[in-house]
Structure 1
Amino acid sequence: MRLTYKRSLIITLLLIFSIKLLAKDGYNLWLQYDKIKNENVLSEYLSTIKEVSYSGDSEIINAAISEIQLGLSGLLGKEFISQKNSDSNNLLFLGSKERLSKNLTKNLEDDFKLINNEGYIIKTINLKGKNSIVITGKTDIGVLYGAFNFLKLLQTQKSISQLNIIDSPKIDVRMLNHWDNLDRTVERGYAGFSLWNWHTLPDYIDQRYIDYARANASIGINGTALTNVNANALILTPQYLEKVKALADVFRPYGIKVYVTARFSAPIEIGNLTTADPLNEDVKNWWKHKTEEIYKLIPDFGGFLVKANSEGQPGPQNYGRNHVDGANMLADAVAPFDGIVMWRAFVYSEHDTTDRAKQAYSEFVPYDGKFRDNVIIQVKNGAIDFQPREPFHPMFGAMPNTPLMMEFQITQEYLGFSTHLVYLPKLYEEVLEADTYRKGKGSTVAKVIDGTLNHKKLTGIAGVSNIGNDINWTGHPFAQANWYGFGRLAWNPYLKSETIADEWLRCTFSNDKNFIQPIKEMMLKSRETVVNYMTPLGLHHIMDTGHHYGPGPWVSNLSRPEWNPVYYHNADENGIGFNRTSTGSYATEQYAPEIAEMYNNIETCPEKDLLWFHHVSWDYTLKNGKTLWDNIALKYQEGVNDVEYMSTTWNTMQNYVDKERFNQVKMLLNIQLKEAKWWRDACLLYFQQFSKKELPIEVKKPEHTLEYFQSLKFPYAPGIKPQW
Structure 2
Amino acid sequence: MLKKVFLLVLFCICINTSANNGYKLWLQYKLVENEALRANYVSNLKAIHAFGDSETINMAMNELDLGFSGLLGTPLKHSKTINNKTLVFGSESFLSTQLKSKLQSDLNKINSEGFVIKSVQVAGNQNIVITGKTDVGVLYGVYHFLRLLQTNQSIENLNIVDSPKIDIRVLNHWDNLDRTVERGYAGFSIWDWHRLPGYIDKRYIDYARANASIGINGTVLTNVNANAYILSEAYIEKVKALADVFRPYGIKVYLTARFSAPIELGGLKTADPLDKEVIQWWKDKTAEIYKAIPDFGGFLVKANSEGQPGPQNYGRNHVDGANMLAEVVAPYNGIVMWRAFVYSEHDPEDRAKQAYDEFVPYDGQFKDNVLVQVKNGAIDFQPREPFHPMFGAMPKTPLMMEFQITQEYLGFSTHTVFLPELFKEVLEEDTWQKGKGSTVAKVVDGTLSNKKLTGIAGVANIGNDINWTGNTMLQANWYGYGRLAWNPYLEPKTIADEWLRCTFSNNSNFINPVEQMLLDSREAVVNYMTPLGLHHIMDTGHHYGPGPWVSDLSRPEWNPKYYHKADKLGVGFDRSKSGSHATGQYKSEVANVFDNVETCPEKYLLWFHHLPWDYKLKNGKSLWDGMALKYQEGVNQVADMNATWSKMKPYVDAERYHEISMFLKIQLNEAKWWRDACLLYFQQFSGEDLPAGVESPAHTLEYYQSLKFPYAPGN
Regarding TM over 0.5, the answer is yes
Which residue of structure 1 lines up, in the alignment, with residue 330 of structure 2? 335
Q: Does 1:308 align with 2:298?
A: no
Equivalent position amino acid for 2:56 in 1: I
2:376 and 2:402 in contact (8 A); partners too: yes
Q: Does 1:561 align with 2:537?
A: no
User: Which residue, out of 42, 48, 69, partners 2:44?
Assistant: 48
Q: Does 1:464 align with 2:459?
A: yes
Equivalent position amino acid for 2:157 in 1: Q
User: Which residue, out of 382, 388, 397, partners 1:387?
Assistant: 382
Secondary structure at 2:303 match in 1: coil
1:265 and 1:276 in contact (8 A); partners too: yes
Equivalent position amino acid for 1:58 in 2: S
For 1:18 and 1:408, the matched residues in 2 are separated by 43
Which residue of structure 2 lines up, in the alignment, with residue 654 of structure 1? 649
For 1:529 and 1:384, the matched residues in 2 are separated by 21
User: Which residue, out of 55, 60, 65, partners 1:64?
Assistant: 60
1:403 and 1:458 in contact (8 A); partners too: yes
Gaps of 5+ in 2: 1-11
For 1:253 and 1:173, the matched residues in 2 are separated by 17
Deviations 1:4-33 (A, max 9, x none): xxxxxxxxxxx999999x521100000011
For 1:602 and 1:476, the matched residues in 2 are separated by 40
Secondary structure at 1:108 match in 2: helix
Which residue of structure 2 lines up, in the alignment, with residue 83 of structure 1? 79
Which residue of structure 2 lines up, in the alignment, with residue 292 of structure 1? 287
Deviations 1:443-479 (A, max 9, x none): 0000000000011000000000000000000011110
Which residue of structure 1 lines up, in the alignment, with residue 316 of structure 2? 321
CA RMSD of aligned residues (A): 1.2
Deviations 1:240-278 (A, max 9, x none): 000000000000010000000000000000101000000
User: Which residue, out of 21, 25, 29, partners 1:25?
Assistant: 21
Aligned-pair CA distance for 1:88:
1.2
User: Which residue, out of 476, 485, 488, partners 2:480?
Assistant: 485
Which residue of structure 2 lines up, in the alignment, with residue 268 of structure 1? 263
For 2:469 and 2:78, the matched residues in 1 are separated by 34
User: Which residue, out of 228, 233, 237, partners 1:238?
Assistant: 233
Aligned-pair CA distance for 1:161:
1.2
1:49 and 1:91 in contact (8 A); partners too: yes
Which residue of structure 1 lines up, in the alignment, with residue 402 of structure 2? 407
For 1:79 and 1:407, the matched residues in 2 are separated by 40
1:539 and 1:577 in contact (8 A); partners too: yes
Matches within 5 A, 1:660-671: 660-671=655-666
Matches within 5 A, 1:489-528: 489-528=484-523
Q: Does 1:97 align with 2:92?
A: yes
Deviations 1:127-153 (A, max 9, x none): 232310000001101100000000000
Aligned-pair CA distance for 1:83:
3.5
Which residue of structure 2 lines up, in the alignment, with residue 582 of structure 1? 577
Q: Does 1:225 align with 2:220?
A: yes
Equivalent position amino acid for 2:49 in 1: S
2:46 and 2:77 in contact (8 A); partners too: no
Which residue of structure 1 lines up, in the alignment, with residue 115 of structure 2? 120
Which residue of structure 2 lines up, in the alignment, with residue 539 of structure 1? 534
1:89 and 1:128 in contact (8 A); partners too: no
1:380 and 1:408 in contact (8 A); partners too: yes
Deviations 1:673-713 (A, max 9, x none): 00000000000000000000000011000010000000000
Deviations 1:188-239 (A, max 9, x none): 0000000000000000000000000000000000000000000000000000
User: Which residue, out of 134, 137, 140, partners 1:142?
Assistant: 137
Aligned-pair CA distance for 1:354:
2.7
User: Which residue, out of 180, 191, 212, partners 2:207?
Assistant: 212
Secondary structure at 1:260 match in 2: strand
For 1:55 and 1:188, the matched residues in 2 are separated by 44
Which residue of structure 2 lines up, in the alignment, with residue 5 of structure 1? none
Equivalent position amino acid for 2:29 in 1: Y
Which residue of structure 2 lines up, in the alignment, with residue 672 of structure 1? 667
Equivalent position amino acid for 1:295 in 2: Y
Gaps of 5+ in 1: 1-14
Secondary structure at 1:133 match in 2: strand
Q: Does 1:107 align with 2:102?
A: yes
Aligned-pair CA distance for 1:87:
1.6
1:29 and 1:480 in contact (8 A); partners too: yes
Secondary structure at 1:655 match in 2: helix
Q: Matched residue pairs, number? A: 704
For 2:210 and 2:640, the matched residues in 1 are separated by 31
1:425 and 1:497 in contact (8 A); partners too: yes
For 1:586 and 1:595, the matched residues in 2 are separated by 13
Aligned-pair CA distance for 1:120:
0.2
Secondary structure at 2:606 match in 1: helix
- Report which stretch shifted further, 120-129 or 251-260: 120-129
For 2:356 and 2:530, the matched residues in 1 are separated by 24
For 1:272 and 1:132, the matched residues in 2 are separated by 62
User: Which residue, out of 251, 254, 275, partners 2:246?
Assistant: 251
Q: Does 1:603 align with 2:571?
A: no
For 1:371 and 1:603, the matched residues in 2 are separated by 39
For 1:578 and 1:334, the matched residues in 2 are separated by 42
Equivalent position amino acid for 1:402 in 2: T
CA separation of 1:653/1:16 partners in 2, compared to 1, >3 Å: closer, same or farther? closer
Secondary structure at 2:650 match in 1: coil
2:16 and 2:654 in contact (8 A); partners too: no
Aligned-pair CA distance for 1:80:
2.2
Which residue of structure 1 lines up, in the alignment, with residue 423 of structure 2? 428
Aligned-pair CA distance for 1:54:
0.2
For 1:16 and 1:47, the matched residues in 2 are separated by 40
User: Which residue, out of 372, 376, 381, partners 1:377?
Assistant: 372
For 1:83 and 1:469, the matched residues in 2 are separated by 39
Aligned-pair CA distance for 1:350:
1.5
Secondary structure at 1:292 match in 2: helix
Equivalent position amino acid for 1:70 in 2: L
Aligned-pair CA distance for 1:113:
1.0
Matches within 5 A, 1:178-189: 178-189=173-184
Matches within 5 A, 1:623-702: 623-702=618-697
For 2:82 and 2:556, the matched residues in 1 are separated by 71
For 1:617 and 1:442, the matched residues in 2 are separated by 34
Equivalent position amino acid for 1:204 in 2: Y
Aligned-pair CA distance for 1:353:
2.2
1:65 and 1:82 in contact (8 A); partners too: no
2:120 and 2:127 in contact (8 A); partners too: yes
For 2:411 and 2:38, the matched residues in 1 are separated by 41
Aligned-pair CA distance for 1:89:
1.1
Aligned-pair CA distance for 1:393:
0.1
CA separation of 1:247/1:72 partners in 2, compared to 1, >3 Å: closer, same or farther? same
For 2:78 and 2:362, the matched residues in 1 are separated by 54
Which residue of structure 1 lines up, in the alignment, with residue 7 of structure 2? none
Equivalent position amino acid for 2:74 in 1: K
Matches within 5 A, 1:159-174: 159-174=154-169
Aligned-pair CA distance for 1:35:
1.0
